[in-house]
Amino acid sequence: MSECTEDKIIYSFKNDYSEGAHPTILNAMISANMDQHDGYGEDSYSKEAVEILREKINNQNVDIHFVAGGTQANLVVISSILRPYESVIAADTGHISTHETGAIEATGHKINTVETSDGKLTSEKIKKIMDEHSSEHMVKPAMVFISNSTELGTVYKKKELEKISLFCRENDLILYMDGARLGAALSSDKSDLTLEDISKIVDIFYIGGTKNGALLGEAIIISNDRLKKNFRYNIKQKGALMAKGRILGIQFKELFRENLFFSLGKHANLMALRLGEKIEKLGYDFLSETESNQIFPILPNEIIENINKKYGFYIWEKIDKDISAVRLVTSWATKEEMIDKFIADLKSYSLSK
């Protein structure tokens, strides 16, 4: 994935966190600004957010912890669960495999990557890794890492996740879900999963706020009882236990108090769907089907160069010497008028080619 220039762009489709935060969240933070509260997540806002989340998940038995970012969540979770000789299995496109500067490897844990066409793991692909690591002369796979939605914008179906979960439980593997874009995943019309389903199927996951309207923040949800003990020690040791933890609590309280989290994810998906449909009408193919708020149209390099002068995005994959797939990401704040402007410019460049 290569970065395109940001000089004099009209709008950025690079990611879903270019904007600050939803006004509801900002207003709540301003309203609570002068209140005094205990630190490190022991404040009333964080405690209330935990109870709201337990209700939304419909599982009072989960433990919930707030951290600032997704890489931080992955680092804390994976390094705290694995023994020094254990490894984690992930798709080759997985965030821990490609965009975390070796954060997991820096803690001494190898990532066993699996090649996928859609960003998803399957029990068959996981088994292949397990079969290849059969003795103490190699690392011992002990965790499976999946993303929902994946880095290719695809979403897991309930049956897919249940099949992976069954294999993991039969083979003593921890199943961990990166939920940086869980809002988009669960709001997708391709998804049949709920938060309650996920809490029952996986051992541990996180709900991403940073990419779905929050200023920052992720909520780590622990379902497996044997992973709960002393987890806050790991958060503190990795520098993730915030003194002003209420900043995270306030945001998750607002995101889930009246289902703002899901409405924002739905809006991001709707904008991506409209953008994809309009690009398709211009005759272009896609690297993968549009299932959430990331789309990957395949465009001529000449057109990419021209349209990049007005819009920010990433070149995801070079298909051949003449065409490449780009990644366009819509957010909770994307306006339809920006979709229309992008399409008008794309159409103009396409007709002039």
Please write the tens of the pLDDT for every residue from 341-350: 999 999 999 9
User: What local confidence, expressed as pLDDT, does residue 1 receive?
Assistant: 62
**Shared-domain flag, residues 87 and 211:** yes
Domain boundary (257, 284, 317) is at 257
User: What local confidence, expressed as pLDDT, does residue 87 receive?
Assistant: 98
Average pLDDT, the chain: 96
What does the alpha-carbon distance between residue 163 and residue 183 come to, in Å, rounded to a whole number? Answer: 22
**Shared-domain flag, residues 243 and 269:** no
User: What local confidence, expressed as pLDDT, does residue 59 receive?
Assistant: 96
User: What is residue 320's DSSP assignment?
Assistant: S
Burial class, 173, CB count within 10 angstroms (exposed 0-12 / middle 13-18 / buried 19+): buried
What does the alpha-carbon distance between residue 263 and residue 60 come to, in Å, rounded to a whole number? Answer: 24
Q: Give the CATH number, domain containing residue 309.
A: 3.90.1150.10
Share of the chain above pLDDT 70, in %: 97
**Shared-domain flag, residues 241 and 305:** no
Please write the tens of the pLDDT for every residue from 157-182: 999 999 999 999 999 999 999 999 99
Please write the tens of the pLDDT for every residue from 270-303: 999 999 999 999 999 999 889 999 999 999 999 9
Q: Which residues contact 341 (CB under 8 A, 6 or more apart)?
A: 10, 11
Confidence of residue 24 (pLDDT cuts 50, 70, 90): very high
User: What local confidence, expressed as pLDDT, does residue 252 receive?
Assistant: 98
Residue type (1 letter), 128: K
Mean pLDDT of 16-37: 97
Please write the tens of the pLDDT for every residue from 197-217: 999 999 999 999 999 999 999
Residue 2 has pLDDT above 70, yes or no: no
Unique residue bearing structure tokens 């490449």:
324
What does the alpha-carbon distance between residue 221 and residue 203 come to, in Å, rounded to a whole number? Answer: 9
Categorise residue 294: left if φ over 0, alpha if ψ from -120 to 50, beta otherwise. Answer: beta
Taking each continuous run of H as one helix and of E as one strand, the counts in the chain are: 13, 14
Domain boundary (227, 257, 287) is at 257
User: What local confidence, expressed as pLDDT, does residue 168 receive?
Assistant: 98
**Shared-domain flag, residues 161 and 282:** no
**Shared-domain flag, residues 245 and 308:** no
What does the alpha-carbon distance between residue 280 and residue 63 come to, in Å, rounded to a whole number? Answer: 44
Unique residue bearing structure tokens 């600004």:
33
**Shared-domain flag, residues 243 and 162:** yes
Encoded tokens for 119: 């960003």
Q: Give the CATH number, domain containing residue 203.
A: 3.40.640.10
Mean pLDDT of 32-48: 96
Looking at the structure of the chain, the number of domains it has is 2
What does the alpha-carbon distance between residue 177 and residue 191 come to, in Å, rounded to a whole number? Answer: 15
Domain of residue 133: give its range.
23-257
**Shared-domain flag, residues 215 and 267:** no
Encoded tokens for 95: 């965030």
What does the alpha-carbon distance between residue 11 and residue 346 come to, in Å, rounded to a whole number? Answer: 14
**Shared-domain flag, residues 221 and 86:** yes
What does the alpha-carbon distance between residue 11 and residue 313 come to, in Å, rounded to a whole number? Answer: 9
**Shared-domain flag, residues 128 and 225:** yes
Encoded tokens for 165: 């979960």
Confidence of residue 9 (pLDDT cuts 50, 70, 90): confident
**Shared-domain flag, residues 253 and 284:** no
User: What local confidence, expressed as pLDDT, does residue 353 receive?
Assistant: 59
Q: 208, 181 in Cβ contact below 8 A?
A: yes
**Shared-domain flag, residues 41 and 165:** yes
Domain boundary (209, 240, 257) is at 257
